[in-house]
């Protein structure tokens, strides 16, 4: 039995994996879907304002401690790739697999801000203009989305090298939004790296909602037989 820890992308909560969780549980695995600090419905303004990448890595590490997890599979979507990288680097060998689901794969000293495109940097800046600390959700996303802590997009990651010792590292490239994705160059870099396994899914960015069966099959190591056509919205 595997233990999956699912980390959502920007503005999202655990609900973004709601269609994938039962598929993994039905296969006999333990599943923990997180809502990160600052994205919870009852978080106050001070919590949102102070939450950063370290805070979110701490959310994952506390879950590993609380549930006494070893050999975890961390799955991060979009911005969540920053979180699982930071957490795995600090997890003292308790992570056996990383899956970056159309997600950032940072190197030491990088941030979500530095790793993304100018289009998304402009969206982060304009989205935080009202408060100065919380980036409002993009137009047209799920109404459950919440303002995202700006500091978590800006903070650079500090990696010790422990991340490179995670036995399995995988990147899932969603090819159905190639006109807007910030991940094409990352996919090409990782595809050339023998320490990474790269998968392609013909979906839009929110693959876990558009094609949950395909995402679950990939996480379970099964052959992907179907994926839904892409939708036009995307978020981080």
Convert the pLDDT of each residue in 16-58 to its tens digit. 999 999 999 999 999 999 999 999 999 999 999 999 999 999 9
Task: Write down all domains in the chain, each with its CATH number in brackets.
Answer: 3-219 (3.40.50.1820)
Token pair listed for 228: 């839904």
Q: CA 115, 121, 124: angle at the middle one, nearest 5?
A: 120
Count H helices, E strands: the chain? Answer: 10, 8
pLDDT tens-digit map of 117-140 = 999 999 999 999 999 999 999 999
Dist. CA 50–CA 44, nearest whole Å: 10
> Quick one: which of 103, 44, 47, 93 has its CA closest to 72?
93
- The pTM (predicted TM-score) of the whole model is 0.94
């Amino acid at each position: 039995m595997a233990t999956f820890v699912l980390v959502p992308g920007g503005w999202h909560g655990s609900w973004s994996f709601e269609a994938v969780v039962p598929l993994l549980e039905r296969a006999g695995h333990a599943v923990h879907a997180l809502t990160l600090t600052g994205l919870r419905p009852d978080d106050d303004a001070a919590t949102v304002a102070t939450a950063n990448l370290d805070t979110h890595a701490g959310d994952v590490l506390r879950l590993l401690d609380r549930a006494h997890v070893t050999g975890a599979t961390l799955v991060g979507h979009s911005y969540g790739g920053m979180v699982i990288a930071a957490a795995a680097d600090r997890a003292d060998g308790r992570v056996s697999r990383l899956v970056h689901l159309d997600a950032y794969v940072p190197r030491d000293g990088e941030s979500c801000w530095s790793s993304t495109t100018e289009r998304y940097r402009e969206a982060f800046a304009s989205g935080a203009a009202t408060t100065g600390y919380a980036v409002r959700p993009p137009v047209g996303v799920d109404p459950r989305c919440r303002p995202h802590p700006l500091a978590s997009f800006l903070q650079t990651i500090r990696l010790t090298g422990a991340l490179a010792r995670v036995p399995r590292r995988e990147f899932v490239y969603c090819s159905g939004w190639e006109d807007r994705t910030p991940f094409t160059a990352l996919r090409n870099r990782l595809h050339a790296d023998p320490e990474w396994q790269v998968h392609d899914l013909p979906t839009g960015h929110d693959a876990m909602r558009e094609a949950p069966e395909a995402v679950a099959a990939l996480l379970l190591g099964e052959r992907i037989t179907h994926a839904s056509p892409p939708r036009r919205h995307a978020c981080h």
